[in-house]
Amino acid sequence: MTDGYELRDAALIANNNHRLERIQWEAAATAFRARLLSSGNRIKEQTYREDYAAYIDYAIELLSSKKPPRNGGELAEQTAEKWREKPRALEKCCIAINRFLEYATEHHGAPAKSWLLSRERLKEIRGRPAKKKSLAHLEEEEVLRLFEENRKGRNGAEWANYVALVATYGLRREEPWHCEPREHPTKGWQMYCAYEKISGNDRTKPRWLRALPPEGSSALWGDLVEAMRQGKLPLPNTNPQAWNNRLARMSYWQSLNEKYETKMRLSLKPGALRDTYSFRAHRRGLRLNTICLAMGHSITTHQQHYAWASEETPYDD
């Protein structure tokens, strides 16, 4: 091997330009995206945007530069460097680049010996996993304040409704748009979520939701099922990413970030309302299985994600 290449690959990449003529990286990236969106284990466009787009786009930018990466290891390393200080994004980056290179070697003529990443090389690029911070959960008063803050400004009423739904039912950020009132066989009118989340081979099924509104919320938003039945619960006409963008611009969210991230060393996510629902459910004594059914994930996922769901002591019976 010479300078990161097998000798038999060297002829394809002499002068650092022939490689670009031989391997059409932009075409490979376009085809890779199409494959992910249409194959047997297809993902949604939103999932591609969140888990692949930024990393693949930056990789193509590097490959199109005057001094492009010479092999898969260099490409992955240079791409990952942009997200080095963001552990979750770094993990996504390594997964995305690895899958893209596997696809490019199989379908677009990239020499496998030069461009495939070994497990050891991938671990080296990713580095030692950073210790994950525990998730923050909001105080009930902070949830209510977040509702009030979202009522202000453009589309305020719609965003306040969004907060009310997510806080009351522990929804993922995209799920409010998939909620509808339905008559349950034994429980009367309840909220139902028709959303299906696809993650690899796993699929979240549509589900009945369990209302656990924050203390003090009844004066602010009342019965959400009845409001939706009457057409009085409009939501913002936008995409889920807009929620993250809205929070990033909100001074109150910045103060919460200062409290939890900076002072308490906890991880405050845009999905904090869902995380707070989980904490509220445990604090109110709901059975673990009931909470997981309401939130639409497995017990294993729940316990891995929430520290308050996995604490065990020798005194538990």
* Domain closes at, from 263, 278, 311: 263
**Confidence class of residue 46 from pLDDT cuts 50, 70 and 90?**
confident
Tokens 């490019």 identify what position?
104
Of 246, 218, 244, 221, the closest CA to residue 233 belongs to 221
The answer to whether the predicted template modeling score (pTM) of the entire model surpasses 0.85 is: no
pLDDT digits (tens, 9 = 90+) for 128-176: 766 677 899 999 999 999 999 999 988 999 999 999 999 999 999 999 9
291 pLDDT above the threshold of 50: yes
d(CA 92, CA 58): 13
pLDDT digits (tens, 9 = 90+) for 165-219: 999 999 999 999 999 999 999 999 999 999 987 765 567 789 999 999 999 999 9
Shared domain for 109 and 145, answered yes or no, is no
Q: Specify the length of the chain in residues.
A: 317
Residue type, position 93, single letter: C
d(CA 81, CA 111): 24
Shared domain for 122 and 144, answered yes or no, is no
d(CA 211, CA 277): 10
Residue range of the domain that includes 24? 7-126
Report the DSSP beta bridge partners of residue 203: 198
Virtual torsion, Cα 111, 117, 121, 127, nearest 10 deg: 140
d(CA 49, CA 44): 9
Shared domain for 195 and 100, answered yes or no, is no
Determine the pLDDT at residue 266.
93
Shared domain for 114 and 157, answered yes or no, is no
Classified as helix, coil or strand, 183 is strand
What lies within 8 Å, CB to CB, of 189 at 6+ separation is 181, 182, 183, 225, 226, 229
How high is the mean pLDDT of the chain?
89
Determine the pLDDT at residue 22.
66
Shared domain for 171 and 109, answered yes or no, is no
Q: Decide if 291 is inside a domain.
A: no
Residue type, position 233, single letter: L
**Run of H or E including 282:** helix 272-283
Calculate the alpha carbon distances from 62 to 14, 76, 96, 195, 277 in Å.
18, 10, 15, 37, 42
Shared domain for 116 and 154, answered yes or no, is no
Shared domain for 47 and 116, answered yes or no, is yes
